[in-house]
Homo-oligomer: A and B are copies of this chain.
Protein backbone atom coordinates (compact mmCIF):
# COMPACT_ATOMS: atom_id res chain seq x y z
CA UNK A 1 0.00 0.00 0.00
CA UNK A 2 1.22 3.52 -0.79
CA UNK A 3 1.28 6.31 1.77
CA UNK A 4 -1.79 8.53 1.65
CA UNK A 5 -3.77 11.35 3.21
CA UNK A 6 -7.52 11.01 3.57
CA UNK A 7 -9.76 13.90 4.53
CA UNK A 8 -13.44 14.33 3.75
CA UNK A 9 -15.50 16.55 6.05
CA UNK A 10 -18.71 16.62 3.99
CA UNK A 11 -21.80 15.71 6.02
CA UNK A 12 -24.22 13.45 4.17
CA UNK A 13 -27.95 13.65 4.88
CA UNK A 14 -29.31 10.58 3.13
CA UNK A 15 -32.86 9.41 2.59
CA UNK A 16 -36.41 10.32 1.78
CA UNK A 17 -37.55 13.64 3.19
CA UNK A 18 -34.10 14.93 4.10
CA UNK A 19 -34.39 18.23 2.17
CA UNK A 20 -36.34 19.53 5.16
CA UNK A 21 -33.14 19.25 7.21
CA UNK A 22 -31.57 22.11 5.23
CA UNK A 23 -33.11 24.18 7.99
CA UNK A 24 -30.70 22.57 10.47
CA UNK A 25 -27.49 22.80 8.47
CA UNK A 26 -27.67 26.31 6.95
CA UNK A 27 -27.17 29.25 9.35
CA UNK A 28 -30.51 30.78 10.30
CA UNK A 29 -29.50 34.32 9.33
CA UNK A 30 -27.79 33.41 6.05
CA UNK A 31 -28.54 35.12 2.77
CA UNK A 32 -28.57 32.07 0.53
CA UNK A 33 -27.69 32.02 -3.16
CA UNK A 34 -29.57 29.05 -4.61
CA UNK A 35 -27.88 27.80 -7.78
CA UNK A 36 -29.44 25.41 -10.25
CA UNK A 37 -29.55 24.40 -13.88
CA UNK A 38 -32.70 24.32 -15.94
CA UNK A 39 -36.26 24.00 -14.77
CA UNK A 40 -36.38 20.31 -13.83
CA UNK A 41 -36.23 21.02 -10.11
CA UNK A 42 -39.44 23.02 -10.47
CA UNK A 43 -41.18 20.03 -12.01
CA UNK A 44 -40.11 17.31 -9.58
CA UNK A 45 -40.88 19.17 -6.38
CA UNK A 46 -37.29 19.74 -5.31
CA UNK A 47 -37.50 23.51 -5.77
CA UNK A 48 -40.57 23.83 -3.58
CA UNK A 49 -39.12 21.60 -0.85
CA UNK A 50 -35.91 23.63 -0.76
CA UNK A 51 -37.76 26.95 -0.56
CA UNK A 52 -39.93 25.59 2.26
CA UNK A 53 -36.92 24.28 4.16
CA UNK A 54 -35.07 27.59 3.89
CA UNK A 55 -37.99 29.28 5.66
CA UNK A 56 -37.45 32.96 6.39
CA UNK A 57 -33.88 33.10 5.10
CA UNK A 58 -33.25 35.64 2.36
CA UNK A 59 -32.88 33.79 -0.94
CA UNK A 60 -31.37 34.91 -4.23
CA UNK A 61 -31.52 32.57 -7.22
CA UNK A 62 -29.00 31.92 -9.96
CA UNK A 63 -30.27 29.69 -12.72
CA UNK A 64 -28.91 28.40 -16.00
CA UNK A 65 -25.81 26.45 -14.96
CA UNK A 66 -25.44 24.19 -17.96
CA UNK A 67 -24.12 20.61 -18.30
CA UNK A 68 -20.33 20.94 -18.42
CA UNK A 69 -20.62 24.28 -16.60
CA UNK A 70 -18.93 27.13 -18.39
CA UNK A 71 -16.58 29.68 -16.94
CA UNK A 72 -18.58 32.32 -18.76
CA UNK A 73 -21.80 31.39 -16.94
CA UNK A 74 -20.18 30.82 -13.56
CA UNK A 75 -18.51 34.24 -13.57
CA UNK A 76 -21.98 35.81 -13.80
CA UNK A 77 -22.78 34.17 -10.44
CA UNK A 78 -19.53 35.50 -9.02
CA UNK A 79 -20.60 39.01 -10.07
CA UNK A 80 -24.02 38.49 -8.47
CA UNK A 81 -22.35 37.47 -5.20
CA UNK A 82 -20.10 40.51 -5.24
CA UNK A 83 -23.06 42.82 -5.83
CA UNK A 84 -25.15 41.29 -3.06
CA UNK A 85 -24.35 40.30 0.47
CA UNK A 86 -24.48 36.53 0.00
CA UNK A 87 -23.38 34.32 2.94
CA UNK A 88 -24.00 30.81 1.73
CA UNK A 89 -24.22 28.97 -1.59
CA UNK A 90 -26.68 26.12 -2.09
CA UNK A 91 -26.20 24.01 -5.22
CA UNK A 92 -29.37 22.17 -6.24
CA UNK A 93 -28.82 19.73 -9.06
CA UNK A 94 -26.31 17.23 -10.40
CA UNK A 95 -22.57 17.22 -10.77
CA UNK A 96 -22.46 20.17 -13.14
CA UNK A 97 -24.29 22.48 -10.75
CA UNK A 98 -22.18 21.31 -7.80
CA UNK A 99 -18.90 21.52 -9.74
CA UNK A 100 -19.85 24.99 -10.90
CA UNK A 101 -20.73 26.06 -7.35
CA UNK A 102 -17.32 24.90 -6.13
CA UNK A 103 -15.64 27.13 -8.69
CA UNK A 104 -17.94 30.02 -7.81
CA UNK A 105 -17.22 29.53 -4.08
CA UNK A 106 -13.49 29.77 -4.74
CA UNK A 107 -13.65 32.47 -7.41
CA UNK A 108 -15.81 34.78 -5.27
CA UNK A 109 -13.02 35.05 -2.70
CA UNK A 110 -10.10 34.77 -5.11
CA UNK A 111 -7.57 37.55 -4.74
CA UNK A 112 -6.39 37.97 -8.27
CA UNK A 113 -7.55 39.64 -11.44
CA UNK A 114 -8.75 36.59 -13.35
CA UNK A 115 -10.20 33.55 -11.53
CA UNK A 116 -9.47 31.38 -14.59
CA UNK A 117 -6.01 31.13 -13.04
CA UNK A 118 -7.67 28.76 -10.53
CA UNK A 119 -8.23 26.31 -13.38
CA UNK A 120 -4.78 26.82 -14.85
CA UNK A 121 -3.23 26.02 -11.46
CA UNK A 122 -5.70 23.12 -10.93
CA UNK A 123 -6.88 24.71 -7.66
CA UNK A 124 -3.50 24.79 -5.95
CA UNK A 125 -3.81 28.56 -5.60
CA UNK A 126 -7.17 28.47 -3.78
CA UNK A 127 -6.70 29.59 -0.17
CA UNK A 128 -10.33 30.06 0.83
CA UNK A 129 -13.84 29.56 -0.46
CA UNK A 130 -17.38 30.54 0.47
CA UNK A 131 -19.32 27.98 2.51
CA UNK A 132 -21.68 25.90 0.43
CA UNK A 133 -23.82 22.78 0.47
CA UNK A 134 -25.72 20.77 -2.08
CA UNK A 135 -29.00 19.03 -2.75
CA UNK A 136 -28.18 16.24 -5.18
CA UNK A 137 -30.69 15.32 -7.87
CA UNK A 138 -28.58 13.07 -10.09
CA UNK A 139 -26.37 10.17 -8.94
CA UNK A 140 -23.30 10.25 -11.13
CA UNK A 141 -20.26 12.39 -10.59
CA UNK A 142 -19.66 12.13 -6.84
CA UNK A 143 -19.16 15.90 -6.71
CA UNK A 144 -21.54 15.97 -3.71
CA UNK A 145 -18.83 14.45 -1.51
CA UNK A 146 -15.52 15.59 -2.91
CA UNK A 147 -13.53 18.75 -3.40
CA UNK A 148 -13.06 18.69 -7.15
CA UNK A 149 -14.79 20.20 -10.14
CA UNK A 150 -14.53 20.45 -13.90
CA UNK A 151 -15.13 23.73 -15.71
CA UNK A 152 -15.25 24.45 -19.44
CA UNK A 153 -14.16 27.74 -20.97
CA UNK A 154 -16.16 27.88 -24.16
CA UNK A 155 -14.17 30.66 -25.77
CA UNK A 156 -11.04 28.51 -25.87
CA UNK A 157 -12.75 25.07 -25.97
CA UNK A 158 -10.93 24.00 -22.80
CA UNK A 159 -12.41 21.61 -20.23
CA UNK A 160 -10.25 21.44 -17.12
CA UNK A 161 -10.36 19.99 -13.61
CA UNK A 162 -9.45 21.59 -10.28
CA UNK A 163 -9.61 20.66 -6.63
CA UNK A 164 -8.93 22.30 -3.30
CA UNK A 165 -9.15 21.38 0.35
CA UNK A 166 -11.42 24.42 0.71
CA UNK A 167 -13.97 23.17 -1.81
CA UNK A 168 -15.72 20.33 0.01
CA UNK A 169 -19.46 20.87 0.37
CA UNK A 170 -20.28 21.42 4.06
CA UNK A 171 -23.16 19.04 3.52
CA UNK A 172 -25.03 17.25 0.78
CA UNK A 173 -28.64 16.08 0.86
CA UNK A 174 -29.19 12.80 -1.00
CA UNK A 175 -32.87 11.94 -1.38
CA UNK A 176 -33.23 8.98 -3.75
CA UNK A 177 -36.88 9.76 -4.48
CA UNK A 178 -35.73 12.95 -6.20
CA UNK A 179 -34.14 10.83 -8.93
CA UNK A 180 -37.39 9.06 -9.90
CA UNK A 181 -38.21 11.53 -12.66
CA UNK A 182 -34.78 11.59 -14.28
CA UNK A 183 -34.68 10.67 -17.97
CA UNK A 184 -33.27 7.21 -18.68
CA UNK A 185 -30.34 8.82 -20.47
CA UNK A 186 -29.23 10.55 -17.28
CA UNK A 187 -29.55 7.40 -15.16
CA UNK A 188 -27.55 5.47 -17.75
CA UNK A 189 -24.91 8.17 -17.96
CA UNK A 190 -24.72 8.37 -14.17
CA UNK A 191 -24.14 4.65 -13.71
CA UNK A 192 -21.45 4.62 -16.40
CA UNK A 193 -19.80 7.72 -14.94
CA UNK A 194 -19.60 6.11 -11.50
CA UNK A 195 -18.38 2.84 -13.00
CA UNK A 196 -15.52 4.54 -14.83
CA UNK A 197 -14.61 6.61 -11.77
CA UNK A 198 -14.10 3.37 -9.90
CA UNK A 199 -12.11 1.81 -12.73
CA UNK A 200 -9.73 4.80 -12.87
CA UNK A 201 -8.80 4.10 -9.25
CA UNK A 202 -8.97 0.31 -9.29
CA UNK A 203 -7.75 -0.93 -12.66
CA UNK A 204 -4.05 -0.09 -12.50
CA UNK A 205 -1.49 -2.47 -10.95
CA UNK A 206 -1.49 -4.35 -7.62
CA UNK A 207 0.00 -2.71 -4.53
CA UNK A 208 -1.39 -5.18 -1.97
CA UNK A 209 -4.43 -3.16 -0.98
CA UNK A 210 -7.20 -5.72 -0.35
CA UNK A 211 -9.54 -3.31 1.45
CA UNK A 212 -9.49 -0.75 -1.34
CA UNK A 213 -9.78 -3.46 -4.01
CA UNK A 214 -12.76 -5.11 -2.34
CA UNK A 215 -14.49 -1.79 -1.80
CA UNK A 216 -14.03 -0.97 -5.49
CA UNK A 217 -15.26 -4.40 -6.56
CA UNK A 218 -18.25 -4.13 -4.25
CA UNK A 219 -19.22 -0.84 -5.86
CA UNK A 220 -18.77 -2.21 -9.39
CA UNK A 221 -20.89 -5.28 -8.61
CA UNK A 222 -23.60 -3.07 -7.15
CA UNK A 223 -23.66 -0.83 -10.23
CA UNK A 224 -23.88 -3.89 -12.47
CA UNK A 225 -26.79 -5.31 -10.46
CA UNK A 226 -28.73 -2.16 -9.71
CA UNK A 227 -28.17 -0.08 -12.86
CA UNK A 228 -30.45 -2.04 -15.20
CA UNK A 229 -33.13 -2.27 -12.48
CA UNK A 230 -33.11 1.50 -12.21
CA UNK A 231 -33.98 1.77 -15.90
CA UNK A 232 -36.78 -0.82 -15.68
CA UNK A 233 -38.46 0.39 -12.50
CA UNK A 234 -37.65 4.06 -11.89
CA UNK A 235 -39.56 4.23 -8.59
CA UNK A 236 -37.85 1.36 -6.76
CA UNK A 237 -36.55 3.24 -3.73
CA UNK A 238 -33.82 0.81 -2.73
CA UNK A 239 -32.43 0.57 -6.25
CA UNK A 240 -32.22 4.34 -6.53
CA UNK A 241 -30.74 4.59 -3.02
CA UNK A 242 -28.07 2.01 -3.78
CA UNK A 243 -27.19 3.66 -7.07
CA UNK A 244 -26.95 7.03 -5.37
CA UNK A 245 -24.71 5.81 -2.55
CA UNK A 246 -22.53 3.93 -5.04
CA UNK A 247 -21.94 7.03 -7.13
CA UNK A 248 -21.01 9.03 -4.04
CA UNK A 249 -18.64 6.35 -2.73
CA UNK A 250 -17.09 6.01 -6.19
CA UNK A 251 -15.32 9.35 -5.98
CA UNK A 252 -15.04 10.59 -2.41
CA UNK A 253 -11.36 9.73 -1.91
CA UNK A 254 -12.01 6.45 -0.14
CA UNK A 255 -11.18 3.83 -2.77
CA UNK A 256 -8.19 5.82 -3.99
CA UNK A 257 -6.43 5.73 -0.62
CA UNK A 258 -2.98 4.17 -0.94
CA UNK A 259 -3.34 3.00 -4.54
CA UNK A 260 -2.11 4.27 -7.93
CA UNK A 261 -4.64 6.05 -10.14
CA UNK A 262 -5.06 6.23 -13.90
CA UNK A 263 -7.49 8.95 -15.19
CA UNK A 264 -6.23 8.77 -18.79
CA UNK A 265 -9.74 7.84 -19.95
CA UNK A 266 -11.13 10.97 -18.32
CA UNK A 267 -8.51 13.25 -19.85
CA UNK A 268 -9.25 12.01 -23.39
CA UNK A 269 -12.96 12.09 -22.62
CA UNK A 270 -12.78 15.75 -21.60
CA UNK A 271 -11.40 16.63 -25.03
CA UNK A 272 -14.23 14.77 -26.73
CA UNK A 273 -16.76 16.79 -24.75
CA UNK A 274 -14.95 20.07 -25.32
CA UNK A 275 -14.65 19.51 -29.08
CA UNK A 276 -17.88 17.66 -29.88
CA UNK A 277 -20.19 18.29 -26.93
CA UNK A 278 -20.61 14.56 -26.26
CA UNK A 279 -22.01 13.74 -22.79
CA UNK A 280 -19.25 13.12 -20.24
CA UNK A 281 -20.30 9.52 -19.54
CA UNK A 282 -20.60 8.80 -23.25
CA UNK A 283 -16.99 9.87 -23.76
CA UNK A 284 -15.88 7.52 -20.98
CA UNK A 285 -17.85 4.63 -22.47
CA UNK A 286 -16.14 5.26 -25.80
CA UNK A 287 -12.62 5.48 -24.42
CA UNK A 288 -12.36 3.00 -21.52
CA UNK A 289 -12.84 -0.34 -23.33
CA UNK A 290 -10.15 0.54 -25.88
CA UNK A 291 -7.93 2.01 -23.20
CA UNK A 292 -7.95 -1.30 -21.33
CA UNK A 293 -7.34 -3.30 -24.50
CA UNK A 294 -4.43 -1.15 -25.64
CA UNK A 295 -2.81 -1.13 -22.20
CA UNK A 296 -3.54 -4.77 -21.41
CA UNK A 297 0.05 -5.73 -20.56
CA UNK A 298 0.60 -2.99 -17.99
CA UNK A 299 -2.73 -3.73 -16.37
CA UNK A 300 -2.71 -7.53 -16.73
CA UNK A 301 -2.79 -8.50 -13.05
CA UNK A 302 -5.65 -6.18 -12.21
CA UNK A 303 -7.56 -7.07 -15.38
CA UNK A 304 -7.43 -10.73 -14.34
CA UNK A 305 -8.65 -9.81 -10.85
CA UNK A 306 -11.45 -7.71 -12.43
CA UNK A 307 -12.42 -10.67 -14.62
CA UNK A 308 -12.53 -13.06 -11.69
CA UNK A 309 -14.11 -11.00 -8.95
CA UNK A 310 -16.41 -8.68 -10.87
CA UNK A 311 -17.42 -10.85 -13.82
CA UNK A 312 -16.98 -14.26 -12.17
CA UNK A 313 -14.75 -15.50 -15.00
CA UNK A 314 -12.60 -18.49 -14.09
CA UNK A 315 -12.39 -20.54 -17.30
CA UNK A 316 -10.15 -20.12 -20.33
CA UNK A 317 -6.70 -18.63 -20.71
CA UNK A 318 -5.72 -15.27 -19.32
CA UNK A 319 -6.15 -13.29 -22.52
CA UNK A 320 -9.60 -14.66 -23.18
CA UNK A 321 -10.73 -13.94 -19.61
CA UNK A 322 -9.45 -10.38 -19.94
CA UNK A 323 -11.16 -9.83 -23.30
CA UNK A 324 -14.42 -11.30 -22.00
CA UNK A 325 -14.34 -9.04 -18.95
CA UNK A 326 -13.79 -5.94 -21.10
CA UNK A 327 -16.55 -7.04 -23.48
CA UNK A 328 -18.96 -7.61 -20.60
CA UNK A 329 -18.19 -4.14 -19.31
CA UNK A 330 -18.80 -2.69 -22.75
CA UNK A 331 -22.08 -4.62 -23.00
CA UNK A 332 -23.06 -3.21 -19.61
CA UNK A 333 -22.48 0.34 -20.85
CA UNK A 334 -24.65 -0.41 -23.89
CA UNK A 335 -27.29 -2.01 -21.67
CA UNK A 336 -27.37 1.25 -19.71
CA UNK A 337 -28.09 3.02 -22.98
CA UNK A 338 -24.62 4.49 -23.44
CA UNK A 339 -23.06 3.87 -26.85
CA UNK A 340 -19.41 2.87 -26.86
CA UNK A 341 -17.99 3.75 -30.30
CA UNK A 342 -16.95 7.01 -31.89
CA UNK A 343 -19.00 6.09 -34.94
CA UNK A 344 -22.13 5.98 -32.74
CA UNK A 345 -21.60 9.73 -32.33
CA UNK A 346 -20.88 10.40 -36.01
CA UNK A 347 -17.13 10.69 -35.47
CA UNK A 348 -14.59 9.05 -37.73
CA UNK A 349 -10.87 8.70 -38.26
CA UNK A 350 -10.56 12.30 -39.44
CA UNK A 351 -11.61 13.47 -36.00
CA UNK A 352 -8.74 11.81 -34.18
CA UNK A 353 -5.98 14.29 -35.06
CA UNK A 354 -7.81 17.31 -33.58
CA UNK A 355 -8.36 15.36 -30.35
CA UNK A 356 -4.67 14.57 -30.14
CA UNK A 357 -3.84 18.22 -30.80
CA UNK A 358 -6.11 19.28 -27.97
CA UNK A 359 -4.43 16.78 -25.64
CA UNK A 360 -1.07 18.20 -26.63
CA UNK A 361 -2.23 21.76 -26.09
CA UNK A 362 -3.39 20.81 -22.58
CA UNK A 363 -0.10 19.00 -21.88
CA UNK A 364 -1.87 15.63 -21.62
CA UNK A 365 1.05 13.80 -23.17
CA UNK A 366 2.05 11.36 -20.42
CA UNK A 367 -1.14 10.11 -18.80
CA UNK A 368 -2.01 7.08 -16.69
CA UNK A 369 -0.71 5.49 -13.51
CA UNK A 370 2.73 5.01 -15.07
CA UNK A 371 2.66 8.24 -17.10
CA UNK A 372 3.19 6.10 -20.20
CA UNK A 373 0.06 7.05 -22.10
CA UNK A 374 1.75 9.17 -24.73
CA UNK A 375 -0.05 10.84 -27.61
CA UNK A 376 0.77 7.74 -29.64
CA UNK A 377 -1.00 5.51 -27.12
CA UNK A 378 -3.97 7.89 -27.08
CA UNK A 379 -4.06 7.64 -30.86
CA UNK A 380 -4.17 3.84 -30.69
CA UNK A 381 -6.96 4.02 -28.14
CA UNK A 382 -9.04 6.37 -30.28
CA UNK A 383 -8.47 4.32 -33.42
CA UNK A 384 -9.63 1.20 -31.62
CA UNK A 385 -12.76 3.10 -30.56
CA UNK A 386 -13.81 4.03 -34.11
A interface list, Cβ under 8 A from B: 1-18, 208-211, 213-215, 217-219, 221-222, 225-226, 238, 241-242, 245-246, 249, 254, 257-258
Contacts and interface: CB of A to CB of B under 8 A. Distances in A.
A242 B13 contact: no
A14 B6 contact: yes
B215 A1 contact: no
Contacts of A13: 5
**Can you tell how many copies of this chain the complex includes?**
2
Contacts of A246: 211
Given A12-B257, A211-B246, 6 more contacts: A1-B241, A4-B15, A8-B9, A15-B258, A210-B222, A210-B226
Contacts of A18: 3
B210 A221 contact: yes
B211 A245 contact: yes
Contacts of A245: 1, 211, 257-258
A242 B1 contact: yes
Contacts of A249: 211
Given A210-B226, A214-B222, A3 B14 contact: yes
A258 B210 contact: no
8 contacts: A3-B17, A3-B18, A5-B11, A208-B241, A211-B218, A211-B249, A214-B219, A218-B218
A242 B258 CA distance: 10
A5 B219 CA distance: 20
A197 to B, nearest CB: 14
Contacts of A5: 11-14
Contacts of A210: 218, 221-222, 225-226, 242
Contacts of A254: 254
A211 B214 CA distance: 11
A133 to B, nearest CB: 13
Contacts of A1: 14-15, 238, 241-242, 245
- Which A-B residue pairs are the 3 nearest by beta carbons? A3-B15, A214-B218, A9-B9
A1 B15 CA distance: 8
Nearest to A18: B3
Given A210-B226, A222-B211, A4 B11 contact: no
A135 to B, nearest CB: 15
A4 B14 CA distance: 5
Contacts of A221: 210, 214
A257 B5 CA distance: 23
Nearest to A238: B208
Contacts of A17: 3
Nearest to A175: B3
A219 B6 CA distance: 18
A258 B15 CA distance: 9
A7 B11 contact: yes
Contacts of A9: 7-9
A7 B12 contact: yes
A380 B9 CA distance: 43
Contacts of A10: 7
A17 to B, nearest CB: 8
A20 to B, nearest CB: 12
Contacts of A213: 218
A203 to B, nearest CB: 17
Nearest to A1: B241
Nearest to A245: B211
